[in-house]
Chain A
């Protein structure tokens, strides 16, 4: 149901029935390693290219989610997923393997919440009993496309971020009233593309902040609630700089948000001493942290209601070289524990 200008309320409360989370070696050394289902100790993952390893991450994550829920790919009606590689081929090829009817989406690093919002919307209106959604990124495959070769000795500035190797998927299921103790999605806000003129691809956090702030403000305005409704408001991959900037923007707009309820997936995933500069990023960042760590915390009742705001920088290597500014977007999904 449309609420306000750009938000949906999911009255039937679709259930996040099961999740699958995979990660690479850098994530295994990270802060949240115990929240991953499968961790690979090698970036190649026994494949012969990073792009194939990328799709392997997604296949393993999807199969883990199926196993946990005790279903097969045949029981799943649709798959709504994406990644950062040209023409989202790793996800499409994984969908070929899984043989699930497939909608490929691209929202850069906001893909995770774009997918969850759409999957929840479909399920809410009876569009499917099970919908698989998720997002994936692979450090080496993504860096190859967007930046220099991985072994090139260029110095990254402190504003740069580290692309997460990992895949997070969720099986969104129709709520039949017998899923207490599982997280449900209750509303979503779809963001606008916002561009405030930043051009530095090594400072995506700063570029994405206005989009994050805009979506958060729109969410509270549309739903006519205030931040105290949530135990946690978590952004996707703003990193340290973007996190501070966004908090500053929200304060400037007069939103009564508290510092301790505002976190960022990119800052949660790695240890301080890992060379991730400003924090983690990539489509897999918010997906792995949400579907792994945050939902585990919700099951432990650390959080009852959270708002996940995944942010994406919609640039390409071509637009960067042609001196285009960076268009950014953010989508928010509200997740609550079903008691």
Chain B
């Protein structure tokens, strides 16, 4: 890894040649679809937040947790019924970036490896895709918190 050899002329030429025949990703259309679907998912999330604030004793600060749990639960059902992957093909980042995408990554891996048993199959592979999100999410939160703490101790904030 890392030590890339300089490419031969033949390889260079073929890559150029092959590019002419590739169907390009429709980037603008994909962005638009991602924006609309992503926005729609977030709108549902917002509605659920208001639901928890008005009908239960949650505040704007505390309603986040039950909202996320509900959204993940919905995405779990959609994954199980085989709908979410179709939505994903249509929406791209629009359905991958919100928390529902995280739910989908976890649940799809669980379904996939169910035939290998609960412990080594489901348990061992549950975070196959989502694991690095959890790891690097926690780690970057730690780094940011560390920087903030140091700045406070130094009296900068």
Contact = CB atoms under 8 A, between A and B. Distances in A.
Contact of B10 (A152, A196, A241): A196
B8 to A, nearest CB: 8
A97 interface: no
Interface residues of A, number: 34
A197 B30 CA distance: 28
Given A48-B115, A49-B115, A196-B10, A151 B82 contact: yes
Contact of B111 (A149, A244, A322): A149
A195 B24 CA distance: 22
Contact of B17 (A144, A151, A155, A245): A245
A87 interface: no
A210 B18 CA distance: 10
Contact of A151 (B10, B18, B22, B107): B107
Contacts of B113: 149
Interface string A229-249: 000000000001100110011
Contacts of B107: 151
Interface in B55-114: 79-80, 82, 84-85, 87-89, 91-93, 95-96, 101, 104-105, 107-109, 111-113
A155 B105 contact: no
A323 interface: yes
B25 interface: yes
B109 A152 contact: yes
Nearest to A246: B21
A244 B21 contact: yes
Most buried by B among A206, A241, A323: A206
Interface string A259-284: 00000000000000001001000000
Contacts of B92: 155
Interface of B: 1, 7-8, 10-11, 14-15, 17-18, 20-26, 30, 79-80, 82, 84-85, 87-89, 91-93, 95-96, 101, 104-105, 107-109, 111-113, 115, 128-129
Given A155-B89, A158-B23, A241-B21, 9 more contacts: A149-B108, A150-B85, A151-B104, A153-B85, A155-B92, A159-B22, A196-B18, A241-B23, A248-B21
